[in-house]
Chain A
Amino acid sequence: MYRLTTRTRAGTATAIAVLVLVIAGMALPAFASRGVIQDLFFILTMLTLAQIWNLLAGYGGLVSVGQQAFVGIGAYAMFAGVILLGWNPVWAIPLGGLAALLLAIPTAYFAFRLQGAYFAIGTWVIAEVTRLLVAQWKTLGGGTGTSLPREATSNILGTDLIRALFSVREAAARDILAYWLALVLVVAVTGGIYWLLRSRLGLALSAVRDNVEAARSVGVDAGRIKWAVFLIAAAATGLTGALIFMQTARISPDAAFAVTDWTAYVIFIVVIGGIGTIEGPILGVLVFFVLRSALADYGSWYLMTLGLIAIAVMLFAPKGLWGLISARSGLHLFPVRRKLVGLKIEGGI
């Protein structure tokens, strides 16, 4: 007699649109220039990081300022796989996820003892410690950093196929491969988060966010959820880091553990777009990309503008741009509400 549904018209439309976009995205390298592919790679990897951070802070209440630790360790693990173990870079990427996962365990053990601002600063310190330790890793160049050897970058799995497929140069084939991987990653991460929110865990996350005490009183294990979210986020961040640095082919501790690039800009994207929604980071990353493309040639003026925009958005649209839009229109592209359908039920979303 009663049924549970999460379907809405906007949600279905989004699902179709996303499907079309993903298929189009897969086929894009056949038409698009390398510049477009590279811009998209940047957008997709930043979006992945932003979605992950949004999961942490927006849904899990874990405001981490130390995500660069996982980007960095993931990237370094990938380099280690290639340089020390001689793996193909593509196979070394999962190693990045694994390394980040392993690092996340002691990090969580430490940081979960801290609350709020203390948690934020604690994660930052851990990221610094990781950076300084990695900077002592002499075989991977220490503080100097290192580059992927040319025979590794020219031999990346699948590039031959891509070269044959699109008849492009080796470097372009590498871009396409990285772009595809980024596309897979962003779809997997966003889809995974969406699935998570629609699963039992999603209910638990919302419950914990709304009221920890009450959540515990209905049987939700708040601690375990925090652990799960933190570890998942770390592993996914590590994968993303490995992918980003496979594409860059050069690494140094300052680049891999850059708090500005991998955390501050990511926070900017999420918060400007609208935290606690899947739509927010998508909107945010587009805004960030447009700003960057339009202003980056103005040197310090660009960064100054970026800073001032962050301030202005927080003052005038504290829920971010998507918050502004959905408050006006009631639109939710990724519905997670479970509706009870049946007789005698009124009220919408």
Chain B
Amino acid sequence: MILRLENVSKSFGALKVTDAVTVSVPRGEALGIIGPNGAGKSTLFNLITGNVLANEGRIEFLGRDVTRAPAMERVRMGVGRSFQIPQPFEGLTVFENLLTAAAFGRGGREADMVDACARILEETELLKKANVVAGSLSLLDRKRLELARALATGPELLLLDEIAGGLTEGECKALVETIRAIHARGTTIIWIEHVLHALTSVVERLLVLDFGRVIGIGAPDEIMASKEVREIYLGLEV
């Protein structure tokens, strides 16, 4: 198991956003997370990365208890993440964004990271814009940069938060291919996504979150077949 959450809970004030979540992720798996807006998906990511600390429960990464470990320590252990609302370093160029992630996420000299960064840029179709200031990127490129920067930290576990939202069909397909390739290299992936068909074409298991609770976990077909899930997630009468 690369990641293990045991009874993890988190409240903001009176609002319980994560409610006794227990889940284990085997190394190399691709796990999808779905759930309505505000279900606590992003918060779950924040708990795993250490951007937010849990009130209760225990989080293990690579067999080590990281419940209290600060975010940067977890990055160096191999937890990479993208943000739902892209958070580029706006004053830096795309390449510098990656360089920062590579230099600090893996811990190495900048010069040694150049090729790795260039490869990631190529893979995420950002190479052309390598020297463009991130603050001026379009939404699509921002999302690509989120993915690229997460990859640059050299993650064993990659957390992707709604990186396909708002993309066109073609863009979405390309993205799915990229993620598949990353997964194929052995990186464990957890992916939050509203664009279900994209998600289900990659992940092996699907976890459904509602009001901070896990209300289902299993193979995508089974989960999608559940009427409850369809209703809760899509909000459409089926």
Contacts and interface: CB of A to CB of B under 8 A. Distances in A.
A–B contact (CB under 8 angstroms) = yes
A116 B83 CA distance: 26
Contacts of B127: 344-345
A328 interface: no
Interface string A89-114: 00000000000000000000000000
Contacts of B72: 216-217, 219-221
B108 to A, nearest CB: 9
B110 A4 contact: yes
Interface string B95-129: 11001110111110111001101100100000111
B131 interface: yes
B105 A218 contact: yes
Contact of B117 (A210, A213, A340): A340
B70 interface: yes
Contacts of A200: 103-104, 109-110
B99 A219 contact: no
Interface string B35-54: 00000000000000111000
A217 B131 contact: no
A114 B101 CA distance: 28
A217 B51 contact: yes
A326 to B, nearest CB: 14
Contacts of B103: 200, 203
A203 B104 CA distance: 9
Contacts of B67: none
Interface string A310-349: 0000000000000000000000000001111010111111
Contact of B131 (A1, A204, A209, A347): A347
Nearest to A4: B114
A206 B75 contact: no
Which bucket holds chain B's interface residue count?
35 or more
A217 B93 contact: no
B51 to A, nearest CB: 6
B104 A220 contact: yes
Contact of A211 (B70, B87, B99): B87
Interface string B153-192: 1000000000000000000000000000000000000000
B51 A347 contact: no
Nearest to A344: B127
A338 B83 contact: no
A203 B102 CA distance: 11
A337 B96 contact: yes
Contacts, number: 121
A213 B85 CA distance: 12
A337 B92 CA distance: 8
Interface in A205-240: 206-207, 209-211, 213-221
B222 interface: no
Contact of A347 (B71, B75, B91, B132): B132
Given A200-B104, A345-B128, A206 B51 contact: no
A31 interface: no
B45 to A, nearest CB: 10
A218 B113 CA distance: 14
Given A211-B87, A340-B118, A347 B100 contact: no
B114 A220 contact: no
Contact of B91 (A204, A206, A346): A206
B76 interface: yes
Given A2-B118, A210-B90, A216-B70, A203 B100 contact: yes
B81 interface: yes
A210 B128 CA distance: 23
A68 B110 CA distance: 36
Contacts of A338: 93, 95-96, 99, 110
Contacts of B153: 218-219
B149 interface: yes
A186 B44 CA distance: 49
Contacts of B81: 217
Contacts of A150: none
B20 interface: no
B32 interface: no
A337 B100 CA distance: 12
Contact of B115 (A1, A216, A220, A339): A1
Q: Which of A215, A217, A344, A345 has most B Cβ within 10 Å?
A: A217
Contacts of A221: 72, 104
Contacts of B91: 206, 209-210
A138 interface: no
B212 interface: no
Contact of A349 (B76, B99, B131): B131
Given A340-B118, A347-B129, 16 more contacts: A4-B111, A210-B92, A213-B87, A214-B83, A215-B89, A216-B50, A217-B72, A218-B153, A219-B101, A219-B104, A219-B153, A338-B93, A342-B118, A346-B128, A346-B131, A347-B132
21 contacts: A2-B115, A4-B114, A200-B109, A203-B92, A206-B92, A215-B100, A216-B50, A216-B70, A218-B100, A218-B153, A219-B72, A220-B72, A220-B104, A221-B72, A340-B114, A340-B117, A344-B127, A346-B131, A347-B128, A347-B131, A349-B131
